Amino acid sequence: MFKEGIVLYISPFYFKNGHSSKNKYFIILKVVSNEIVIASLPTRSNKAPALMQVEHGCNNDPERCFNCYIYQENKVITDSGFSFPIDTYIYGNEVEDYTLNVLESIYQIEGVDNEILGVTN
């Protein structure tokens, strides 16, 4: 279940920093040595610098030390036809690593703890 490119909806997601749990999308970017998952919790918050033109895909502005990947609303991103209902953002500085065995122990039951929404195109 925790393979590269998978988009999950986890209900609820327990944050590493102790913030209150809530339902979250979870995009697996990389699995390292079958032990570590590099993933993102996308957000609906647009933190792009003022006057920066943002579009679907990778947006990078080295002068402002800003990078993010933008998923435009209703643009299909997985093999199953999934799209985010609103513009959704992944920020490079918010990508985190998670221990695979911890994820597997917490989110064990597909369809209950998590829902696989597809694999990114």
At 116, which helix (H) or strand (E)?
Answer: strand 114-119
Q: pLDDT by residue (tens digit) across 3-12?
A: 999 999 999 9
Classify residue 23: in a domain, yes or no.
yes
Distance CA 117, CA 9 (A): 7
Classify residue 1: in a domain, yes or no.
no
Q: Based on the structure, what is the number of domains in the chain?
A: 1
Per-residue pLDDT tens digits of the chain, which is 121 residues long: 789 999 999 999 999 888 999 999 999 999 999 889 999 999 999 888 776 777 889 988 888 888 999 999 999 999 999 999 999 999 988 999 999 999 999 998 888 889 999 999 8
Query: CB under 8 Å to 52, separation ≥6 — which residues?
Result: 59, 61, 64, 66
Distance CA 121, CA 115 (A): 18
Rounded to two decimals, the pTM is 0.89
Domain with 59, as residue range(s), is 6-119
Distance CA 98, CA 103 (A): 7
Q: Which of 16, 36, 32 is nearest to 24 (CA)?
A: 16
Distance CA 90, CA 76 (A): 16
DSSP classification of residue 107: S
Classify residue 62: in a domain, yes or no.
yes
Asked if 115 and 46 count as a contact pair (C-beta separation under 8 A), the reply is no
Classify residue 40: in a domain, yes or no.
yes
